Amino acid sequence: MTKLREKQRFVLDTTALTSVELRETGEKLCEAIKRMLSLIAEARIKLNISCHIPFPTVYDELIQFMKRYDCDSELFVEVDTWLVKKTPNRFEVKIPAEVFYEYVKDMRERMSRGMKIAESSIWLSASEAINLTLKNVDRETIKRESTGYIIKDFRAKYRNALRYGTLDSAPDLDVLLLAKEMDAGVVASDEGIKKWAERLGLRFVEGASFPKMLEEYLKHIG
């Protein structure tokens, strides 16, 4: 049991505490975070399971979420108490060249898809504007009825092409670097983090499954 406890370390992404999937029916964000922290606290005291959060990137992101939702000041104290803040050692953590190569290749392909989406939207917008101009439609109407929905559609497609399923922020990368450094599990509700955690050979736990896993551990305490 001692050996098992020593290995139970997890690095949490912001989504491990803020994801909608974590909330029970009618539960608000602050309530969900408080419930999660209570589980983390119990698991730490009884099972020596520690939960870490990259500092300052992911920590600041979480704090901003909590401020936005007007969480009680007491909850901020609980975050500082039960989540271990640690800055990943970016100079010492080693990433296999093959993984780095895959990431660069993936981003290059995504940028190519993004460019094609942009070109398609530009052509569509120009065509719509020309058609409406020939009908003597004024500029404001063209902007509202033509380019408005095209821009909205472009943003959705562009975001999906470039951001979904990949690492698109410093906090995402810090989660993986810290987990790699500590040989810890990764907890997140993010497809990009999940994909690259698998590439790095890291244990990955879905954010929605993490509280259930802790409850299962605690249920079997002798």
Are 29 and 122 in the same domain? no
Is the per-residue pLDDT at 200 higher than 70?
A: yes
Domain end (from 141, 162, 183): 162
Are 81 and 118 in the same domain? no
Domain end (from 113, 135, 162): 162
Q: Look up the pTM and report it.
A: 0.84
Are 138 and 83 in the same domain? no
Are 8 and 88 in the same domain? yes
pLDDT in tens, 68-97: 999 999 999 999 999 999 999 999 999 999
Which CATH number characterizes residue 204's domain? 3.40.50.1010
Bigger pLDDT: 159 or 4? 159
Output the pLDDT for position 144.
66
Q: For the chain, how many structural domains are there in total?
A: 2
Output the pLDDT for position 2.
43
pLDDT in tens, 104-128: 999 999 999 999 999 998 888 888 7
pLDDT in tens, 131-142: 777 777 676 766
- Rounded Cα–Cα distance for residues 149 and 155 (Å): 10
**pLDDT averaged over every residue in the chain:** 91
pLDDT in tens, 150-169: 888 899 998 888 888 889 89
Bigger pLDDT: 31 or 165? 31
Range of the domain at 78: 2-93+170-219
Are 27 and 133 in the same domain? no
Are 116 and 57 in the same domain? no
Are 82 and 183 in the same domain? yes
Are 47 and 64 in the same domain? yes
CB 73 within 8 A of CB 32: no
- Rounded Cα–Cα distance for residues 69 and 140 (Å): 37
Are 8 and 41 in the same domain? yes
Are 71 and 175 in the same domain? yes
